[in-house]
Amino acid sequence: MAAALVRSVFGRVGTSRAVLCRRVSTNDQKLVETEKHGQVFLIGINRPEVRNCVDPETSRQLIAAFRQFDREEDLLVAVLHGHGGVFCAGYDLKFLSEVDASVGPTFKEPVESDEAPMGPSRMLCTKPVIAAVAGYAVAGGLELACMCDLRVVEESAVMGVFCRRFGVPLLDGGTVRLPRLIGLSRALDLILTGRQVSAKEAFQFGLANRLVATGTALGQSVQLAKEIAKHPQMCMKADRRSAYYSAYDAKSTVDAFQFEFENGIKVIEEESVKDDIFTQIHPPNMQGNTAAGSRVPTTTPTSPSNMQDDKCRESQSMERENEKPKSRKIPRLLG
C-alpha cells in the first residue's frame, strides 16, 4: 500500500525521458497569462482543463511573472487569479504519477532558492499581491493564496488542505503561513483534517479578507488594487515590510519596534513632508491661500481694549432688560 502511494505521487518507474520532455516542453504555451491594467498587474494561471493545477512549466512561468512584477517600477499591485472559474487546485499529481522519479522535477530547498514546487510561494514580493479566489483554492493552491497579502474570495469558493487525503505534505509554506494568518489552533484544524472550508467560514476566521459574489472576485480585486495604488507608495511599502518582519523575522518585540522605527523614519523625510502630500491633507483654502476669485471671510484679531468695550455694552444691555416691567402670570383655575 505504501509503495503504491509513493509511486502514485512521486513517479512511476519506467517512464521514459521522452515522455517527460513532451510533458514539460511547453515554453510556447501560455500557461500563465499576464496583463497590465495601469499600475495593476494581472497574473492568471491558464490550465482550466486541470483546474489550474501547477506542473513544472507552469511553476516556471509563474516565477517569471512575479519577478517581472517586482522588477517593473510602474507596476504597484499584482492580482493572482485562475482562468475558467477556478483559482488553483494544487500541484499536478497526475503529471507526477506519469513521470519517472529518476528524471522527474527536482524541488529546490528553501536555503538554496526561493523557487518552490508551486513556483513563487516562497517569495516575498516588495509590493502587495492580491489573490482573486474563485472555485477551488486547495492544497498547493491554498498555499499560493496564503502567499498573497490579501484574499478576495467568492462566496461559492472552496478552500482546504486537500492534499492531506493523498499523503502529500505541504511544501509551499502552508505550515508556515497558515498559523500566522489564522492562528495555530485553526491552522491545525485545516492541516490535520484536510476538510473542506467554505468561503463564509474562511471569512469568519480571517483567511478571506473580502467575501464577494460569485463571478466578481477578479473585478473586485482589481478595484481593491487600484485603491491601494493610490496611496503614497514609500510609506505603504515601509509599513508592509515592518508588518512582515514583525510576524516572521523579529527576534523580540523591541527588535520589531526598532525595525519599524528605522524603516518609518526615512519616510518622514522623503515622502511625508513633501509639498504635494501636505497640500492634499491641508488644501490651500484651509491655510488662507485662496484661489483666484474665491472669497473667504476674514476676522480681525480682538485687542484687550475691544474686549473691555464688549463687556461694558453687554452689562448695559442686561441692566436695561432688568428695568422693563415684568408681566404677571395669572394661574388658571380648574372647574
Least confidently predicted of 28-42, 275-289, 292-306: 292-306
**Spatial contact of 154 and 217, defined as CB atoms under 8 Å apart:** yes
Q: Do 88 and 31 lie in a common domain?
A: yes
Q: What is the span of the domain harbouring residue 203? A: 2-229
Same-domain status, 133 and 247: no
**Structural domain includes residue 335:** no
Top-confidence residue, 154 or 326: 154
78's grid cell: 499584482
User: What pLDDT digit, counting tens, does each position of 228-251 carry?
Assistant: 999 999 999 999 999 999 999 999
Query: What percentage of the chain reaches a pLDDT higher than 90?
Result: 58
**Would you say residue 117 has pLDDT above 70?**
yes
Instruction: Indicate whether 240 and 215 sit together in one domain.
Output: no
pLDDT for 311: 54
pLDDT band per the 50, 70, 90 thresholds, residue 268: confident
Query: For the residues 283-302, what does the mean pLDDT come to?
Result: 45
The reply to whether 262 and 183 lie within a common domain is no
Are residues 207 and 71 both part of a single domain? Answer: yes
Residue 16, in any domain of the structure: yes
pLDDT: is 268 or 148 the higher one?
148
Does residue 288 belong to any structural domain of this protein?
no
pLDDT at 20 over 60: no
Q: Which helix (H) or strand (E) holds 212?
A: strand 210-212
Task: Say how far apart CA 122 and CA 310 lie, in whole Å.
Answer: 73
CA distances from 277 to 31, 164, 294 (A): 42, 50, 23
Residue 62 has pLDDT above 90, yes or no: yes
Task: Clarify whether residues 203 and 88 are in a common domain.
Answer: yes
Question: Is 4's pLDDT higher than 50?
Answer: no
Report yes or no on 323 lying in a domain: no
Residues 134 and 151 in one domain: yes
* SS3 state of residue 91: strand
* Percentage of the residues of the chain whose pLDDT score is greater than 70: 70
Same domain, 263 and 153: no
pLDDT tens per residue across span 132-165 = 999 999 999 999 999 999 999 999 999 999 999 8
Q: Is residue 331 part of a domain?
A: no
Choose one of 208, 229, 250: the last residue of a domain. 229
Q: What is the CATH number of the domain that holds 136?
A: 3.90.226.10
In a domain, 325, yes or no: no
| Furthest C-alpha separation in the chain | 117
Same domain assignment for residues 237 and 144: no
184/51 same-domain check? yes
Three-state SS string across 69-86, please? HHHCCCCCEEEEEEHHHC
pLDDT value at residue 269: 78
Number of domains in the chain: 2
Task: Give the mean pLDDT of the chain.
Answer: 80
Are residues 202 and 259 located together in one domain of the fold? no
Whether 307 is in a domain gets the answer no
Q: Which contacts qualify for 27-30: CB closer than 8 Å, 24 or more apart?
A: 27/57, 29/57, 30/61
Length of the chain: 335
Q: Is residue 316 part of a domain?
A: no
Note whether 198 and 239 are same-domain residues: no
